[in-house]
Chains A and B, each alone.
Chain A
Amino acid sequence: MADISLQNISKSFGAVEVISGLSLDVHSGEFVVFLGPSGSGKSTVLRMIAGLESIDSGTLLIDGKVSQDLAPGQRNVAMVFQNYALYPHMTVRENMAFGLKNIRLAPDEIKRRVEEAAHVLEISALLDRKPAQLSGGQRQRVAIGRAIVKEPAALLFDEPLSNLDAALRVRTRVELAELHQRMKSTMIYVTHDQTEAMTLGDRIVILNNCKIEQIGTPLEVYNTPATKFVASFIGSPAMNFLSGTTSQGKTGANFVTSDGLTLETNIALSNFGAFELGIRPEAIRISDTADGLPAHVRVVERLGDRTLVYAVLPDGTQIVAQDSGRSGVQTGDKVHLTFDPSQVVLFDAEGKAHHS
């Protein structure tokens, strides 16, 4: 269990700088998730911590020890690979013991650790099988077991659930959360799945184009996204965006849609001009009265507990609103939409978010 600290880390592949000046602190015992679309650099950062990618400049501290030039095996971190990379010719026991034998641990200590890890992961009965004889979920556990027997300072996960089917993925996700509760070890987890990130992470690091967009707890990134990218990436269905302009109003900025309708907000702005307004589906109310934005209902999805209403504004902007499960809205209805002012976000031309 240890702190990991990345200080001003950069890396290039040839002439292309893929990571530049990245800094991040992972606290001891924390579960940090790197979330981003493919190509966002999340795996690269993880692999830099593991030592599988070199760090061109900057400092990597693992448990206070300068580690950027150490070989992967010497960093006291362990990794669970996306394809598990279980050695096919070794039994489960041998797979787990391989790393320990290489550092010449005493045989009874190896045996103790392997059996303990197997017990924790409930794979004791599988120890003498080969990977080919295991199911996908069992292989996954062995891969985790191979990592935890090293009693590493931190466990690194590279999209470990992406090879499992949907049902197993949910179950394993819960088990991982339990495992973290029990072991209290530092974990860094890479995924492109926002549900995994929201449910597992103590903090989420959202990356896009090899840059950190935001670091925060799941609720922080959901409720107060720092950028338009974060706002659009987190949440399902995604946040709605309306384009328009802002001007000074009574309580804060006024947002004028392209149709010329004015929405009052209580967001204080220092500059005005072209902005985008963001609003989550659940913060939109469908009103029976004539106030709010007029909209035309195209599709109604009834999910039982809630209803998703897909509507179009006069200027053509698509809007998704969430209504109650017993909503009476019908396809083809003309409705009016009102926004909960406390949940309105404004994004400036650079994509930076302004909250109330």
Chain B
Amino acid sequence: MTSGRLQKLNLFGGIITVVTLLCAIIWAFPIYWGIVSSLKPEDEVVRPYIELWPETLTFDHYWFALTETQIGRWYINSIVTALGVTVLTVSTSMFAGYAISQLRFPFRRTLYWLILASFMVPTQVLIINHFVLVANMGLLNSWAGIILPQLIHPVVIIVYKQFFDQVPKDFREAAAMDNASEFGTLFKVYMPMNWGVTTALAIVSFIWSWNAFLWPFLAVTKNEMMTITVGITQVSDAFGVYYARQLAAAVLAGFPVAFAYLLFQRRVTTAITLSAGIKG
């Protein structure tokens, strides 16, 4: 290869890198723009020209959202329901995944096929019957009512099953030689060996549930029971036509999940890749 050709290649590569960087900045720009706008006074927000940085930096809109609206209450609703969904999904899926992977019992294969088949059923089509069910149970406008229909995550079971399948058989045998009971083997050997998966799945479940819109939107009619994801768009009179206030509320709603992602980047991306491998 001549040095001229090499330079040409490097130049081309350099251009691609610069283009990628530019695209990344443009891509994330709406997020930046939303945050910056929420930090401007309302009159600055509606100026007819572009200002990439506020002339006067203000946190008034955040203060307003936190004190004058029910956003605190919505935060609590979101945290409680997302945690509930996470704990219930991860624990029930772990138990079921362990049983399907490690134990022999009648109809084991049938159960597995049922779980695989349920990938195909979109939960969105079940909203009517979920609503009837939850209404009949008297759980509309309650945390339990928001949580319950969100507990179908067959993918979590499959990920667990695949992880437990990969654990060498020796560990199970070593545990048997060590007199561990079936539950002891699960809780003291298999579960701690897979903490990485459990935390990753838990973080992702939390994000999924925090972001859920359709069901919490249907299950709740009272303002004080809304999750933050629903609340910021549904209670229009809470913010009025103040763009900066609306954006401040949106930033507050997105902050916990964005923060969780930035904090646990690796775990989030692995868990999402894992869950996709079999979603198709």
**In the complex, are there CB atoms of A and B closer than 8 Å?**
yes
Which residues of A are at the interface with B, using a C-beta cutoff of 8 A? Answer: 50-52, 71-74, 77-79, 81-83, 85, 87-90, 98-99, 102-103, 146
Beyond known contacts A79-B177, A81-B170, A102-B178: 8 more, CB 8 A cutoff: A51-B176, A72-B173, A77-B177, A85-B171, A87-B174, A89-B192, A99-B177, A102-B181
Whether B177 contacts A73 by the Cβ 8 Å rule is yes
- A83-B170, A85-B173 are known contacts. Are A73 and B179 too (CB-CB below 8 A)? yes
Q: Is B259 an interface residue (CB 8 A)?
A: no
What are 23 A-to-B residue pairs whose CB atoms are below 8 Å? A51-B176, A52-B173, A52-B177, A72-B173, A73-B176, A73-B178, A78-B177, A79-B173, A81-B174, A83-B168, A85-B173, A85-B174, A87-B171, A87-B189, A89-B193, A98-B180, A99-B177, A99-B179, A99-B180, A102-B178, A102-B179, A102-B180, A102-B181
Question: Which residues of the partner chain A approach B138 to less than 8 Å between Cβ atoms?
Answer: none
- A81-B170, A87-B193 are known contacts. Are A50 and B188 too (CB-CB below 8 A)? no
Question: Which residues of the partner chain A approach B174 to less than 8 Å between Cβ atoms?
Answer: 79, 81, 85, 87
Min Cβ gap B166→A in Å is 13
Question: Which residues of the partner chain B approach A77 to less than 8 Å between Cβ atoms?
Answer: 177
Question: Which residues of the partner chain A approach B54 to less than 8 Å between Cβ atoms?
Answer: none
Q: Is B195 an interface residue (CB 8 A)?
A: yes
A81, A87, A99, A146: which contacts B173 (Cβ < 8 A)? A81
Question: Which residues of the partner chain B approach A82 to less than 8 Å between Cβ atoms?
Answer: 170
Whether A71 contacts B176 by the Cβ 8 Å rule is yes
Q: Is B256 an interface residue (CB 8 A)?
A: no
- A85-B171, A85-B173, A87-B189 are known contacts. Are A103 and B179 too (CB-CB below 8 A)? yes
Which residues of B are at the interface with A, using a C-beta cutoff of 8 A? Answer: 168, 170-171, 173-174, 176-181, 184, 188-189, 192-193, 195
Whether B178 contacts A99 by the Cβ 8 Å rule is yes
Min Cβ gap B228→A in Å is 36
- A81-B173, A85-B171, A85-B173 are known contacts. Are A98 and B193 too (CB-CB below 8 A)? no
Min Cβ gap A142→B in Å is 12
User: How far is B177's CA from A73's CA once the two chains are assembled, in angstroms?
Assistant: 4
Question: Which residues of the partner chain B approach A72 to less than 8 Å between Cβ atoms?
Answer: 173, 176-177
Whether B184 contacts A102 by the Cβ 8 Å rule is yes
Question: Which residues of the partner chain A approach B181 to less than 8 Å between Cβ atoms?
Answer: 102
Question: Which residues of the partner chain A approach B171 to less than 8 Å between Cβ atoms?
Answer: 85, 87
User: How far is B244's CA from A354's CA once the two chains are assembled, in angstroms?
Assistant: 101
User: How far is B179's CA from A73's CA once the two chains are assembled, in angstroms?
Assistant: 4
Whether B184 contacts A52 by the Cβ 8 Å rule is no
Chain B residue, CB-CB nearest to A147: B177
User: How far is B188's CA from A102's CA once the two chains are assembled, in angstroms?
Assistant: 11
User: How far is B174's CA from A87's CA once the two chains are assembled, in angstroms?
Assistant: 9
Question: Which residues of the partner chain A approach B188 to less than 8 Å between Cβ atoms?
Answer: 98
Give 8 closest A-B pairs by Cβ, nearest first: A73-B179, A99-B178, A85-B170, A85-B174, A102-B179, A89-B192, A72-B176, A81-B170
Question: Which residues of the partner chain A approach B170 to less than 8 Å between Cβ atoms?
Answer: 81-83, 85
A51, A52, A89, A98: which contacts B178 (Cβ < 8 A)? A98
User: How far is B178's CA from A71's CA once the two chains are assembled, in angstroms?
Assistant: 11
B168, B192, B195: which contacts A85 (Cβ < 8 A)? B168
Min Cβ gap A280→B in Å is 39
Chain A residue, CB-CB nearest to B179: A73
User: How far is B188's CA from A261's CA once the two chains are assembled, in angstroms?
Assistant: 71
User: How far is B179's CA from A50's CA once the two chains are assembled, in angstroms?
Assistant: 12
